[in-house]
Amino acid sequence: MKKNIEIAQDILQEGRITATKHANGRDWWIITKRRNSGRFYNILLDADNVQVKDIQEFENISAYSGIGQSIFAPDGSKYVSSTIRGNVGSDCYIDIYDFDRCTGTLFNPIQITYADSAWSGGCAISPNSRFLYVSSYRYIYQYDLWAENIEATKDTVAIYDGFIIPPIFATRFFLAQLAPDGKIYISATNSVPYLHVINHPDLPGDSCDVCQHCVQLPTWNAFSMPNFPNYRLHHLEGSPCDTLRQPPTAAWSYEAQALELAFQDSSYHDIRAWHWDFGDGATDTVPYPVHTYVAEGVYNVCLSVSNPRGEDTLCRSVAAVTTAVAEPEGNISVSISPNPITGFVALLQLETLVKLSAPQIIVRDALGREVLRERLRVVDGKVSHELKVGHLAAGVYFCSVEEVGSVVWQGKIIKQ
């Protein structure tokens, strides 16, 4: 490992470094741009070095710099940069280039100009690399990158709904990021505990389902959004640079709705075939299956993926339960969040109208064995307690709040 190696020295456009996989599926192309210029630095990161491989100059594209984002399409075929000049009424720009993953060359530049009184914005591209989303302060636009006339496909898929965090913090649209779950998340223009989300970005028009301030964060976020390239992009088949011939890597996630689980494949390196084993005798061979379990429980789910160079399998435990969130019971209400629990700590919050002198939270596994017991401190009829569950294996657990041997509340938690 080495650090502080100078790659290029220039006045670069702020916040615009982005990357995509080389056609060999291992190395990386990194693109950055000179401020107020049409000059691009095409940087190659390979197994041995990082260096500028080419400098490109584009004279016919507006060279303005400003707030915005630069991104690659998930398949690496296009490079897009959105620029908000920051003055109400000023033109905003969307620059679209084709990109050669073998040579690292930008070509076929297109510029779209619009004005909508934007102060800020960003951009992201759908998982299928077809739809470009441009967040522009009060609006979110969708463009079809596969169309012959991209500008003509402009569709307004969201208008700011006026939501405000008191006293004045509006949740207008700012930076965007395609996430590993296939959704696009968008930050706000103020410090707020919310993100917007595009639930189905591969779909055209309003069917993409923009949900404003629908993702509540555990803390306040001041404008920022992670900047992740597509780590799962495989080699470019048929390219003369496809020289490494990598075997597949299995990866997947899921979302649970009671006993119905929706599985999402996120494997990479040219996947040709999928085989799901849901742990209850059922199987499937599609990338995104939905499976309903007959009974509650913890199941060992395995995904096997293959390509002409090999096969890989990933197995994980999943929990299928009909009720995972605690409900009020009589004069006492208890909630445990998050639930399912993915980390080491969950927050137990309790409110009671009856006097509790020495309550305890007791957690038991599916066989009834006690795995956790902790004292609760009641202040003015309320409890806020960190439940330390880092030692628990994945599964369904039964909880109870007990007072001198008497059970005053029961519920379930899931540990993932």
d(CA 20, CA 329): 53
* Model pLDDT for residues 59-110, shown as the tens digit of each residue: 866 667 788 999 999 999 999 999 987 665 678 999 999 999 999 999 999 9
* Model pLDDT for residues 184-237, shown as the tens digit of each residue: 999 999 999 999 999 999 999 999 999 999 998 888 999 889 889 999 898 887
Q: Do 280 and 136 belong to one domain?
A: no
In the chain, the amino acid numbered 99 is F
| Among 183, 205, 222, residue at a domain's last position | 222
Which CATH number belongs to the domain containing residue 175 in this structure? 2.130.10.10
Give every CB contact of residue 351 below 8 A, 6+ residues apart in sequence. 332, 333, 381, 382, 383
Query: In the β-sheet with 173-178, what is the strand arrangement from edge to edge?
Result: 173-178, 184-188, 191-198, 210-222
Residue 42 in domain = yes
Q: Do 53 and 201 belong to one domain?
A: yes
As a whole-number percent, the residues of the chain with pLDDT over 90 amount to: 49
Question: Please, what is the Cα angle at 129 between 128 and 134, to 5 degrees?
Answer: 120
Q: Which two tokens stand for residue 208?
A: 């993409």
Residue 326 in domain = no
**Closest C-alpha to 100, from 40, 48, 29, 36:** 29
| Among 320, 354, 375, residue at a domain's last position | 320
Q: Do 35 and 141 belong to one domain?
A: yes
Burial-class residue 205 by CB neighbours within 10 Å (0-12, 13-18, 19+).
exposed
Q: Do 183 and 314 belong to one domain?
A: no
User: Which residue's entry shows tokens 């490109």?
Assistant: 56
Higher pLDDT, 334 or 323: 334
Residue 327, pLDDT above cutoff 60: no
In the chain, the amino acid numbered 363 is V
Q: Do 191 and 276 belong to one domain?
A: no
Q: Do 69 and 137 belong to one domain?
A: yes
Q: Do 305 and 388 belong to one domain?
A: no
User: Which residue's entry shows tokens 């008191």?
Assistant: 166
| Among 267, 296, 320, residue at a domain's last position | 320
d(CA 199, CA 178): 11
Residue 260 in domain = yes
Number of domains in the chain: 3
Higher pLDDT, 311 or 240: 311
The phi-psi region of residue 380 (left if phi > 0; otherwise alpha if psi is between -120 and 50; otherwise beta) is left
Residue 204 in domain = yes
Burial-class residue 29 by CB neighbours within 10 Å (0-12, 13-18, 19+).
buried
Task: Look at residue 95 in the predicted model and tell me its pLDDT.
Answer: 94
d(CA 192, CA 194): 6
Residue 238 in domain = no
Q: Do 172 and 296 belong to one domain?
A: no
Q: Do 177 and 29 belong to one domain?
A: yes
Q: Do 84 and 59 belong to one domain?
A: yes
d(CA 209, CA 197): 8
pTM of the model: 0.68
Domain that holds residue 90: 18-222
Q: Do 154 and 218 belong to one domain?
A: yes
* Model pLDDT for residues 241-261, shown as the tens digit of each residue: 888 877 888 999 888 777 888
Whether 40 contacts 29, CB under 8 Å: no
d(CA 289, CA 3): 44
Q: Which two tokens stand for residue 384?
A: 């806020």
Query: What is the 3-state secondary structure of the chain?
Result: CCCCCCCCCCCECCCCCEEEECCCCCCEEEEEEECCCCEEEEEEECCCCEEEEEEEECCCCCCCCCEEEEEECCCCCEEEEEEECCCCCCCEEEEEEEEECCCCEEEEEEEEEECCCCCCCEEEECCCCCEEEEEEECEEEEEECCCCCCHHHCEEEEECCCCEECCCEECCEEEEEECCCCCEEEEECCEEEEEEEECCCCCCHHHHCEEEEEEEEEEEEECCCCCCCCCCCCCCCCCCCCCCCCCCECCEEEEEECCEEEEEECCECCCCEEEEECCCCCEECCCCCEEECCCCEEEEEEEEEEECCEEEEEEEEEEECCCCCCCCECCEEEEEECCCECCCEEEEEEEECCCCCCEEEEEECCCCCEEEEEECCCECCEEEEEEECCCCCCEEEEEEEEECCEEEEEEEEEEC
**Closest C-alpha to 228, from 8, 2, 21, 4:** 21
How do beta strands 173-178 and 184-188 pair?
antiparallel
The distance of Cα 78 from the centroid of its chain, to the nearest Å, equals 20
Nearest-Å Rg of the Cα atoms of the chain is 25
Residue 78 in domain = yes
* Model pLDDT for residues 372-409, shown as the tens digit of each residue: 888 888 888 888 888 888 888 888 888 888 877 677 78
Q: Do 216 and 263 belong to one domain?
A: no
Residue 7 in domain = no
Binning pLDDT at 50, 70 and 90, where does residue 325 land? Answer: very low
Burial-class residue 261 by CB neighbours within 10 Å (0-12, 13-18, 19+).
buried
Task: Look at residue 250 in the predicted model and tell me its pLDDT.
Answer: 93
Which CATH number belongs to the domain containing residue 374 in this structure? 2.60.40.1930
**Closest C-alpha to 117, from 142, 85, 95:** 85
Residue 304 in domain = yes
